[in-house]
A and B are shown apart, each in its own frame.
Chain A
Amino acid sequence: GAVVSQHPSWVICKSGTSVKIECRSLDFQATTMFWYRQFPKQSLMLMATSNEGSKATYEQGVEKDKFLINHASLTLSTLTVTSAHPEDSSFYICSARVQGLAGGGGTDTQYFGPGTRLTVL
């Protein structure tokens, strides 16, 4: 259980084009999903929190107009990189939150997708 998929697994695009990445929770519903970016040999950096039915919350320094997030259903969140440039080339990883039995989020678990490798030429 608790499987998260991402599509596509890799994408190459030309500079200036937009790319959409999908994140799906396959066997559970997730009101909250997260999007991370990981540059080579670096750690995961949280970009934004995606909430079903409401606007995403972006971390400081992340351009919300460039990285469009839509969480239209309890099993799907999408990240669109608009007008992509070579510096946007990275590994994009999503995660889906499973709420723990205890309140307050202390025992919540995040399950991660396999990632999407974006290369912008």
Chain B
Amino acid sequence: GQQLNQSPQSMFIQEGEDVSMNCTSSSIFNTWLWYKQDPGEGPVLLIALYKAGELTSNGRLTAQFGITRKDSFLNISASIPSDVGIYFCAGRNTGTASKLTFGTGTRLQVTL
């Protein structure tokens, strides 16, 4: 099935640094979502974006819905050790029974 491409694939950063990751698709989505998955757990929703161009924040997280509807980015400011995990973007179109298409994931490691 279709997958969304995320970059970078993995990153090592120091505590306190800002992080930026993005997600691109060859097709349009009407909704973009960002999830975080800890090892051995299910994904947890971080941010949902519903309009092209929308910029939404959730604490230290900021995400934007690209104007072309084919991309989205997620920023994490002042990273802390508990930010470690895998971040997935997901796209959804209306009329598809709410099915999600997940990105390839960005693995984040934070060092002290």
Write the residues of chain A forming the contact surface with B, with a CB cutoff of 8 angstroms.
4, 6, 32, 34, 42-46, 49, 57, 59-61, 91, 93, 95, 97, 104-115, 117
B59 part of interface (Cβ distance < 8 Å): no
Write the residues of chain B forming the contact surface with A, with a CB cutoff of 8 angstroms.
1, 3, 30-31, 35, 40-45, 48, 50, 88, 92, 94-105
Q: Is the interface of A mostly helix, strand, loop or mixed?
A: strand
**Distance between A98 CB and nearest chain B CB, rounded to angstroms:** 10
Q: Contact check, B100 vs A43: say whether CB atoms are below 8 A apart.
A: no
* Known pairs A93-B43, A106-B30, A110-B100 / 10 extra A-B pairs, C-beta < 8 Å: A32-B97, A42-B105, A43-B3, A57-B97, A105-B94, A105-B95, A106-B94, A108-B92, A109-B45, A114-B41
Q: Contact check, B45 vs A46: say whether CB atoms are below 8 A apart.
A: no
**Distance between A65 CB and nearest chain B CB, rounded to angstroms:** 20
Task: Report chain A residues within 8 Å CB of B40.
Answer: 91, 114-115, 117
CA distance A59 to B101 in the complex (A): 12
Task: Report chain B residues within 8 Å CB of A97.
Answer: 98
A-B contacts at CB below 8 angstroms, number? 68
CA distance A112 to B88 in the complex (A): 13
CA distance A59 to B1 in the complex (A): 8
Q: Contact check, B100 vs A106: say whether CB atoms are below 8 A apart.
A: no
- Name the one of A44, A46, A109, A114 contacting B88, with C-beta atoms under 8 angstroms: A44
- Name the one of B30, B31, B43, B103 contacting A112, with C-beta atoms under 8 angstroms: B43
Q: Contact check, B45 vs A49: say whether CB atoms are below 8 A apart.
A: no
* Given A43-B3, A44-B102, A46-B99, residue A115 in contact with residue B42 (CB < 8 A): yes
Q: Contact check, A34 vs B45: say whether CB atoms are below 8 A apart.
A: no
Q: Contact check, A93 vs B42: say whether CB atoms are below 8 A apart.
A: yes
CA distance A117 to B41 in the complex (A): 10
- Name the one of B1, B31, B97, B99 contacting A106, with C-beta atoms under 8 angstroms: B31
* Given A106-B30, A106-B31, residue A46 in contact with residue B100 (CB < 8 A): yes
